[in-house]
Structure 1
Amino acid sequence: MTRGPRRIVCLTEEPTEVLYALGEQDRIVGISGFTVRPPIARKEKPKVSAFTSAKIGEILKLEPDFVVGFSDMQADIAAELVRHGVEVWISNHRSVDGILDYIRRLGALVGASARADEWAGQLEAGLDAIEDAAARLPRRPKVYFEEWDEPPITGIRWVAELVRIAGGDDIFPERAAESLAKQRILEDPMEVVRRAPDIIMGSWCGKKFRPEKVAARPGWDAIPAVRDGELHEIKSPMILQPGPAALTDGIGAISAIIRDWAIRHA
């Protein structure tokens, strides 16, 4: 007997990725247009939402018995669906532990608790292995992670945590603790200059990171990362969504950049 919701609409990528990984993809009847993982989802499932907007009428035609979204940014979409009698779960996790817990909770909702718990444990073990290897690096770089450029927005909590696990130190830990993007806007970009990161990582949601534009910012030529050419793009689908990709491909990319830097600067 099928347990839990049978017709799920996923307003962001991470529930789609989780449900496919758990073998529960047949429950999905609609996905976000920004979904890239797994690639087959884009071929199999109708795209009914962006991030801050959704085709409410198209979603209702799919007759979902459960809709999954993420964060305050989707509050208006959720409210509209609730007014139409649809059950909605808006997760709001912002940490690595939160991502692991999200996998377990979503798995439980579809009757796949054991599989979800096992997978989350495997992901956790992978992070532990990366952290153990990072602890043996000869140096820890200071890292500035930028998730938007105009205005500059610093990295969210799970990104800062992944940087630390990979062997670096996020230069704005106090901002990473803030849940809302508007609280992570840099009013004074020169604060990056003063904190002197060794590495700059950029992941501009929805557009290509332009290291030459970052390097050309007034005064930023004094930053060690700019002086040494340590400006790197992390593709946004693998790091800016609080799902499994961040704990695999995302931290893998971050770890490789930090490891290479540490070896060169030993």
Structure 2
Amino acid sequence: MGPTRIVCLTEEPTETLYALGEQDRIVGISGFTVRPSIARREKPKVSAFTSAKIEAILALQPDFAIGFSDIQADIAAELVRRGVEVWISNHRSVDGILDYIRRLGALVGAGDRAARYADDLQRGLDAIAADAAKLPQRPRVYFEEWDDPQITGIRWVAELVRIAGGDDVFPERAMESLAKQRILEDPDEVIRRAPDIILGSWCGKRFRPERVAARRGWDAIPAVRDGQLHEIKSPIILQPGPAALTDGVSEIARIIRAWANGR
């Protein structure tokens, strides 16, 4: 049967459990949750990403809490001290997201459904990759997760860019799990790597392409010269869950396809 009163400290377990038809187990969610939209209307919001309403969570009498990464270590530790069982996942790749979905499904007794769901997501990615393989050219892509300081994209984002038909210009940075390790000490390195497309997803605030284009020396970058600066909304790309593997990668593929076809 598994846990029956789950608090989701981030967005991806909420979206996954709803997709599996197990939403009745959820008693609390992250305030950043937007997918599915019904979750915001019917579930109490008890956490942010780096903070949580511990007393409000305990009042929900959860038997399980699900979070993500070292950034939520303090929240997890406090809940453990207060007697709540906690699972902190730390997946950073496309394969890791698919495995996460399977593991979460198994935890709630929906292992078969989760496996089928993950397989469907993989087939969707395969179809996007097959279409991308037919493009006449591949763009070099710079993904910016934050603007001050400038932070490059995490691993699953770089992998989705590749699936969609592009090549991340900072592949070595993408392998770093922590944001502080993906800070660009020298922003001029973007100029030297000359991306054809710039994708921005500024983690909860609106991407400002005009500010990016106005950076010193960036007018020499092909993406800036050609007006190829695009926002990818953070809810569909910066959470390591189903959104990134569906709407997120589809939006990246649309942008790359338009560039490759000269539109």
Task: Calculate the TM-score normalised by the size of structure 2.
Answer: 0.99
Partner of residue 67 from structure 1, selected from 48, 65, 68: 65
The one-letter code sitting in structure 2 at the alignment partner of 1:7 is R
Give the match for residue 5 of structure 2.
7
- Secondary structure of 1:264's aligned partner: coil
1:127-165 superposed Cα distances (whole Å, 9 cap, x missing partner)? 001001101100000000000000000000000000000
Q: Is it true that 1:22 corresponds to 2:28 in the alignment?
A: no
Give the match for residue 152 of structure 1.
150
Q: Is it true that 1:194 corresponds to 2:192 in the alignment?
A: yes
1:184-207 superposed Cα distances (whole Å, 9 cap, x missing partner)? 000000000000000000000010
CA distance in 2, matches of 1:151, 1:199: 20
The one-letter code sitting in structure 2 at the alignment partner of 1:62 is L
CA distance in 2, matches of 1:86, 1:115: 26
The aligned runs of 1:76-225 (5 Å cut-off) are 76-225=74-223
CA distance in 2, matches of 1:195, 1:18: 37
Give the match for residue 53 of structure 1.
51
Percent identity over paired residues = 81
CA distance in 1, matches of 2:124, 2:48: 31
The one-letter code sitting in structure 2 at the alignment partner of 1:176 is A
CA RMSD, Structure 1 to Structure 2 (Å): 0.6
1:202-249 superposed Cα distances (whole Å, 9 cap, x missing partner)? 000010000000000001000000000000000000000000000000
Partner of residue 231 from structure 1, selected from 215, 223, 229: 229
- Secondary structure of 1:29's aligned partner: strand
- Secondary structure of 2:138's aligned partner: coil
- Secondary structure of 2:161's aligned partner: helix
Runs of 4+ in 1 over 2 A off after TM superposition: none
Q: Which runs of 5+ in 2 are unaligned?
A: none
Partner of residue 259 from structure 2, selected from 219, 236, 261: 261
**Which moves more between the two structures, 119-128 or 256-265?**
256-265
- Secondary structure of 1:23's aligned partner: coil
CA distance in 2, matches of 1:199, 1:43: 37
The one-letter code sitting in structure 2 at the alignment partner of 1:66 is F
Task: Calculate the TM-score normalised by the size of structure 1.
Answer: 0.98
What displacement does 1:24 show?
A: 0.5
Q: Which runs of 5+ in 1 are unaligned?
A: none
1:37-91 superposed Cα distances (whole Å, 9 cap, x missing partner)? 0000000000000000000000001110000000111000000000111100000
- Secondary structure of 1:200's aligned partner: strand
CA distance in 2, matches of 1:25, 1:140: 40
- Provide the aligned length of Structure 1 versus Structure 2: 263
- Secondary structure of 1:48's aligned partner: strand
1:8-55 superposed Cα distances (whole Å, 9 cap, x missing partner)? 000001000000111100000000000000000000000000000000
- Secondary structure of 1:158's aligned partner: helix
CA distance in 1, matches of 2:94, 2:233: 18
The one-letter code sitting in structure 1 at the alignment partner of 2:180 is K
The one-letter code sitting in structure 2 at the alignment partner of 1:127 is L
